[in-house]
Structure 1
Amino acid sequence: MYDQYKNFMREYLSLNHMELVQAEEIIVEDRKCFYMPHHGVIREDSSTTKLRVVFDASAKSSTNISLNDVLHAGPNLQTDLFYILSNFRIHSIALAADIEKMFRQILVSHSDSDFQRIIWRENLDQKIEDYRLKTVTYGTACAPYLAIRTIKKLAEDEEMNFPKASKVIDKDFYVDDLLTGADSIQEAENLMSDIINLMRRGGFTLRKWISNEQSILSKLPPELKGTEQSINIAEDQSVKLLGIQWDPNQDTFAIHLNPAQKVTTKRQLLSSIARIYDPLGFISPSTVLAKIMMQKLWLCKSKWDDPLPD
């Protein structure tokens, strides 16, 4: 984990996504700044980065106020997932991909980057140094708005050059996941090429391409093809243990469940029900039974941590 953490931070620095704060800049009276703590999150299901360093913009400072407390999150620009999934499988040929390091391809204003400071050193023999993150940072309240707004602006700017791809990019992205399609192989190939070229105009690389028609992917370089057998579509993109899975080989959706080991109280039952992520209602005939059980517990006035009655 230590090696992966160091490699992640080295990459951040080598890609110029963060920079060293010079000694004379660290304390400047008229310059406001914020320091974010950070920690590693292991993602065993990831085919690329197993460890992601997460920067905690919700950590309270000495003033008992966090960066997220004072950030304007911006309006919700995300297209409804129900629409995206329904539209995705209307097409005969389905296409899916995701944007590599989506947030980190977008620079924030230099005047704002001091609110994204961190401290870091690789080992105990080095002195602690101050850095500032130069790009949109995952975990800040405004990050989803900034990223989605940038993608939509790119689609708008390139509408004249790529009219079909522009509409797809505007409507068929769920955060960094593209879920779209076409009605013929030729149309799908053209659309995929246009989407790739349009996104490159903004410095974005689309990778992990998968389709229910494998021949469409034959012209792609290997590094852009997906290696996983299915894609996960989760509400919380940081934890892909739950959510809908689409298997391109079988062309089927599945709901992945991760239920609690033991359910003995009303609190645990509610927690287990809340874990089921099913935005299209595929398994409602089953989940409604658990919700009826919950209703009965309220009617019999069972307390949150009482043992469940027989």
Structure 2
Amino acid sequence: MKIRKAVFPVAGLGTRVLPATKAMPKEMLTIVDRPLIQYVVDEAREAGIEHFVFVTGRNKGVIEDHFDRMYELDATLAARGKKAEQEILARDQPAPGAMSFTRQQAPLGLGHAVWCARDIVGREPFAVILPDELVLNTPGCLAQMIETAASLGDKSNLIAVEEVPAHLTHQYGICGVGKRDGRMFEIDGMVEKPKQGTAPSNFSITGRYILQPEIFQILETQEHGAGGEIQLTDAMIGLSKTQKFYGVDFDGERHDCGSRAGFLRANIAFGMARNDLRADLREAMRKYLEK
């Protein structure tokens, strides 16, 4: 199963981290020295994705600008002899035509955002990556999923899953666990935010998916679900009646950067993973811990 395209839903308002996101998209908040959106695009590129589809909204134009070439900046860096910085920008520059942008126009939920990408994706399997969830690992989460998908049928769907404490399952979409094969298992049911004590497992659905194009037909007429939004989980439940779903218990450290605490933890984790920053960061943290 070849996965060439990835959808990035980036139309959200980022209300959990206001006021930082009042004038800046949450996807452009920086973890160490790179915006969130750059991390997930790099993850997709590492996994072999060729076309990057962004579902945007109002005031998100800076995301498109970030992946464009800035001639004035290039000229200034060249004039000042900053070759290292030029190389970083050149490395991050996408190929011409490799990125597409479409508008969601109304905050109707993740399922609706994915549906907005239907004409760009077309009739082929595709990945969905939520930009406010980062996974610290090499290879990345999506690369692990695509490697797993290669061993499955052409009409299979995959979801990255993570174990969460049993008392928190009501805060997540949860999947049931069927037949296991290493870190992968058949999903035998899904439920969005089950009542406490009713969850089929403690495996939560995280922000990485590989889906078949038939999901668009279901989303076309999907009724509003939890929160009055069109939920992707509800559409996946519908698709699971005719197609297989598998959970991938990926290897890596997931960080929810859409929350204040998660954002801070991600900065520490990604900073400590950098050889050029680790020693200074460790020393600074030691000082604050002593206080």
- The TM-score, its normalising length taken from structure 1, stands at 0.20
Q: Which has the higher contact order (CA 8 A, sep 6+)?
A: 2
More strand by share: 2
The structure with the largest alpha-carbon Rg is 1
- The TM-score, its normalising length taken from structure 2, stands at 0.21
